[in-house]
Amino acid sequence: MTALPDAAEPAVQAAGPAEETPSSRGMLRYALSKAGGALFSIAMVVIGTFFVFRLLPGDPVRNLAQGRNMTPEQLDLERHRLGLDQSLINQFFDFVGDTLRLDLGTSYEYKRPVLDLIGERLGPTLLLAGTGLVIAVSLGLWQGIHAGWRHGSRFDRFSTGTSLVLWSVPTFWLGLLLMMVFGVGIGPIPGLLPFRGSESIDAPDGFAYVLDVAAHMVLPCLTLVAVVYAQYLLVMRSSLLEEVSQDYITVARAKGLRDDDVRRRHAVPNALLPTVTLVFMRIGFVVGGAVTVETIFTWPGLGQLFYEAVSVPDFTLMQGTFLLITVSVIVMNTLADVVYHMIDPRVRSA
Amino acid sequence: MSLLELDDVSVTYRIASGEVPAVRGVSLSLDAGAALGVAGESGSGKSTLAMALLRLLPKEARVGGRILLDGDDVLTMKWGRMRAVRWAEASIVFQGAQHGLNPVRKIGDQIAEPLLTHNLAKPDEARRRVTELLEQVGLPAWRARSYPHELSGGQRQRVMIAMALACSPRLIIADEPTTALDVMVQAQVLSLIKELVAEHGISLIMISHDLSVLADVCDQLAVMYAGRLVEHGPSREVFREARHPYSKALAAAFPTVGDPGSRMAPKGLGGDPPDPMQLPGGCSFHPRCPVAVDGCSTLDVQLWPAGPGRTAACVHARAEEEVS
Amino acid sequence: MTGVVMARRRLAVSRFWADFRKQRAGVAGLVVLLVAVVLALVAPLFIGEGVTSVVSGTGPKWAAPSLDYPFGTDESGRSILLMVWWGSRTSLLIGFLAALLSIVIGMVVGITAGHFRGWIGATLMRVTDWFLVLPSLVTAMVLAAILGGSTFTIIAAIGVTTWPTTARLIRAQTLAVESRPYIERSKALGAGHWHVTTRHVLPNVAPLLLASATLEVASAIVTESTLAFLGVSSNKTSWGTMLRGSYDWGAPTQGAWWYILIPGLAILAVVMAFMLAGRALEAVLNPRLRRAS
């Protein structure tokens, strides 16, 4: 019989089927350590926010008052309202305590709790950024896969060229152009799409309302997608190029698989995992894009709220939105990392 | 009729800076059930030749000549037919098994894949066949659920062999199957290949830079240098008393285990293989040849008979033949 | 000894240039960015701050491009052409200085983290990763808003939020360089930290730093224009503040396409030039990338 004992490698074999338990325990340990890291990062963000907002040169109240006339009494009142007349240590503990209780203070501009404002604006942002992200990821990955698979082809050169241009375009400028061409209309062409807010003033009910919001979303979404998807395309393409030259791709061809199957079953699964992770690691970039896009198209989301806070400026509102945005980015990052470790067999048991 | 026949096969890569000849006019044949070893340094064109057999070269490569597999020319086949031939009639065991297996797919799925692709089995039959194949190469059935990185190098190479056997092909091409394995495992894998090939009556083309390995496994040996065949003949004779100085150097580069003589005098070959874009005139080997004579730099040496069933492309071999 | 080193470096530079010249897009980018830099530098010889003054606008308001005003005028009758020319000084200056700041921080952190591999390196990488995760535009906006929008602040805000990528790259390169045998030898001969990092590591990471810096300038120019557009930098005329003005004054609804198009195209051209040059540099310097593209 041809079966040979695995004499040279008994240890590996002995570790056989029972290795699932330590592996999943390792996974749990990994997830916990990542969560710990994230908590640490969040703590650093909270502390950092506190000091940045209070210790940087200049009196925060004066900074905030720029452009407005305020009497010394008003300044004192404002200082007291912000707790700035207390000692730094006391301020710090108050701040941490409040933040932990999710009390983000009261907006100077709106005279309302920051958390309530954020709550109102969260929905539109999730709708816009979520839709944009889904489209950008699917389009970017699809095009990146096809460009990388046929690298050097006309499609590849076209895709890479477009992405490089889009990558260089400032988001807001693209938004302005789209607004001018499709919103306002140019020359004899009338404007086709609404470009202010998320719904018409006389918004209809029911399904017509959905259509109305969708129409309002086209331009901001298009702008966001255009800028974000170019990055995904480039990352996916180079990731696929790494895989194309691997031996196992040649093996798959040698097995008699169709070209499409070699791509779908072998190259893409390998290239996809790291790419998707990278994509979600860079979610901060999408956030930046969302702030810009919401500002231009006056989309009533978190980004616009943050922009308002910065331009008023509204100290507590800016601090609250900044904390929320940063913490969500950290959480998403950590999730992406942990999920990657869970689904990629190469790192799962390593 | 022989199973595989190569007739004046040449491969040229077309790159930006010109044309690179990788294989130049190689003719060989292989009978059913026979084992042929192809030896040469890296860059000698041996792996390119192997890839050309199933048209696996990148599209920059131009393949000339004829490659007859069972009388059918591989180079003029339609793509559908080509895909049907791949793996079902001829499969490949790749070098460095660490990259030959897809890192994110389970071993069992990868072994079963050609069976399902060629509609040779239904999923449950394929699963049974995978178990059977794993047993044949000495791996337990539960290994089917493992991922490649969970296996040692030797085990991965066994998986590659099991995979190559999956469709019961008539020909297996083994490209450096034991490179990057340690000596003990190397010996195990070699004897595994030898036994399986003999048991199933499969023809084998084995590619290596190690002449002693090839001489151990194969009946016939072909030595390549700079894209050309420089010597061909029964493996023992070629290994023991090579006629071409390059084959001699290759044979001497790997000491025979247990032979004190070869350990005392390891004769490495000086210099590097030539740049395929600037091949030396005459015999390509003459700049490195220890026994080159005046004519070697101008005379294009062909394969000449060099003993019973043997050929060699060297003026000395011809001279010896004419003397005897 | 030093003569040999110099000769070897000179040879490396000439070989590098020969490689770079083969990257056609990179050469085109280099030409465009040189032209842009020269134009920005010579601007004071022809025009002055005055072209950006609201009161000195001499032309008609919202004039479409004509012979007198090749790129039209804005809401106060200022020439877009001259403003874009003058604004290039601020945009490029901020781009260069912010990139420089970012690269210097990244280099120091990267080399230190790569050289001292113990807890110092670990801590530095932890900090780097933390900064890497922060959404950079949002953070830069907060910093600029708190510090006030001076040129200096904008440079600091961009520099402080963008260095982590460089730091990671340089750390990896430092690790690679320090694992080479001659560094071991140098250490064995008693070379100190300063000697190893400045004499051996720095020359080896310098080319990559250059490529990284070029790409960094591109993204700093975009970030500057975005910050200016979002109103956190409130002073000098730059391409970003021009676009802010076009938005504030309703250029899209006025149909004043030139007011939007021209400053944006200026950004696009310069950023693409930097990026193409940077990618070409990277491709020449990093064989791994070269093979993939």
Q: Cβ–Cβ of C255/A180 closer than 8 Å?
A: yes
In chain B, the residue whose alpha carbon lies closest to the alpha carbon of A347 is: B149
pLDDT bracket for residue C279 (50, 70, 90): confident
| Run of H or E including C127 | helix C119-133
* Chain A residue numbers touching C240 (CB-CB < 8 A): 170
Judge whether B46 lies within some domain. yes
The whole-angstrom distance between A238's CA and the closest CA on chain C is 7
Quote the distance between the C-alpha of residue C90 and its chain's center.
Answer: 13
Tell me the Cα Rg of chain B: 20
A115 phi, psi to nearest 5 deg? -60, -40
Residues 271..290 of A with a Cβ closer than 8 Å to B: which?
A: 273
Tokens at C2, concatenated: 């030093």
Eight-class DSSP state of A264? I
Q: Tell me the C-alpha distance between C155 and C151, whole Å.
A: 6
A349: contact with B, CB 8 A cutoff: yes
Query: Which of B79, B91, B102 would best serve as a mutation to test chain A binding (most A beta carbons within 10 A)?
Result: B102
Q: How many domains does chain B have?
A: 1
Q: Tell me the C-alpha distance between A86 and C225, whole Å.
A: 38
Q: Cβ–Cβ of B86/A253 closer than 8 Å?
A: yes
* Chain A residue numbers touching B191 (CB-CB < 8 A): 4
User: Which residues in chain A show pLDDT less than 50?
Assistant: 1-22, 350
Q: Tell me the C-alpha distance between B196 and B175, whole Å.
A: 16
User: Which residues in chain B show pLDDT less than 70?
Assistant: 1, 96-98, 254-270, 321-324
A250: contact with B, CB 8 A cutoff: yes
Closest partner residue to A3 (CB to CB) among B105, B135, B147 is B135
Tell me which residue of B287, B283, B290, B288 sits closest to B314, measured CA to CA. Answer: B283
Give the type of residue at A346. R
Mean pLDDT of C84-96: 89
Residue-level pLDDT at C108: 93
CATH number of the domain to which B64 belongs: 3.40.50.300
Q: Cβ–Cβ of A326/C232 closer than 8 Å?
A: no
Q: Cβ–Cβ of C145/A306 closer than 8 Å?
A: no
Residue-level pLDDT at C8: 78
Closest partner residue to A255 (CB to CB) among B113, B150, B184 is B113
Mean pLDDT of C245-251: 84
* Chain C residue numbers touching A44 (CB-CB < 8 A): 130
Q: Cβ–Cβ of B137/A255 closer than 8 Å?
A: no
Dihedral, C257, C258, C262, C268 alpha carbons, nearest 10: 20
Q: Cβ–Cβ of B103/A261 closer than 8 Å?
A: no
Closest partner residue to A270 (CB to CB) among B94, B103, B152 is B103
Report the 10 Å Cβ neighbour count for C259. 29
Report the 10 Å Cβ neighbour count for A97. 10
Q: Around B103, how many Cα atoms within 13 Å sit in the side-chain half-sphere? A: 20
Which SS3 state, helix, strand or coil, does residue B37 take? Answer: strand
Q: Cβ–Cβ of B83/A258 closer than 8 Å?
A: yes
The whole-angstrom distance between A254's CA and the closest CA on chain B is 6
Mean pLDDT of C222-249: 86
Closest partner residue to A255 (CB to CB) among B99, B117, B191 is B117
Peptide bond into A313 cis (omega under 30): yes
Burial of C190 (0-12, 13-18, 19+ CB in 10 A): exposed
Q: Cβ–Cβ of B185/A5 closer than 8 Å?
A: no
Please name the fold of domain A33-349: MetI-like fold (1.10.3720)
Closest partner residue to C226 (CB to CB) among A170, A186, A245 is A170
- Neighboring chains of C (3 or more beta-carbon pairs < 8 A): A
Angstrom CA distances, C53 to C57, C61, C66, C86, stand at: 7, 14, 21, 11
Q: What is the mean pLDDT of chain C?
A: 84
Any idea which residue has 């000395």 for tokens? B316
* Chain A residue numbers touching B136 (CB-CB < 8 A): 2-3
Q: Tell me the C-alpha distance between B284 and C256, whole Å.
A: 72
Q: What is the mean pLDDT of chain A?
A: 82
pLDDT bracket for residue C57 (50, 70, 90): low
Q: Tell me the C-alpha distance between C153 and B12, whole Å.
A: 60
Q: Tell me the C-alpha distance between B33 and B11, whole Å.
A: 27
* Chain A residue numbers touching C264 (CB-CB < 8 A): 169-170, 173, 176-177
* Chain A residue numbers touching B108 (CB-CB < 8 A): none
Q: Cβ–Cβ of A346/B101 closer than 8 Å?
A: no
Eight-class DSSP state of B12? E
The model's pTM is: 0.82
Eight-class DSSP state of A169? S
Residue-level pLDDT at C235: 67
| Run of H or E including B229 | strand B228-234
Which SS3 state, helix, strand or coil, does residue C216 take? Answer: helix
Instruction: Please report the number of interchain residue pairs, chain A to chain B, with beta-carbon separation below 8 angstroms.
Output: 110
Peptide bond into C263 cis (omega under 30): no
Q: Which domain holds residue B205?
A: 4-89+169-244
pLDDT bracket for residue C255 (50, 70, 90): confident
* Chain C residue numbers touching A161 (CB-CB < 8 A): none
Is the CATH number 2.60.120.10 carried by domain C74-287? no
Which SS3 state, helix, strand or coil, does residue B281 take? Answer: coil
Mean pLDDT of C266-275: 92
Q: Tell me the C-alpha distance between C270 and C85, whole Å.
A: 12
pLDDT digits (tens, 9 = 90+) for A291-334: 999 999 999 999 999 999 988 878 889 889 999 999 999 998 88
Spans of all domains in chain A: 33-349
Residue-level pLDDT at C92: 92
Burial of A36 (0-12, 13-18, 19+ CB in 10 A): exposed
Residue-level pLDDT at A3: 36
Q: Cβ–Cβ of A9/B185 closer than 8 Å?
A: yes
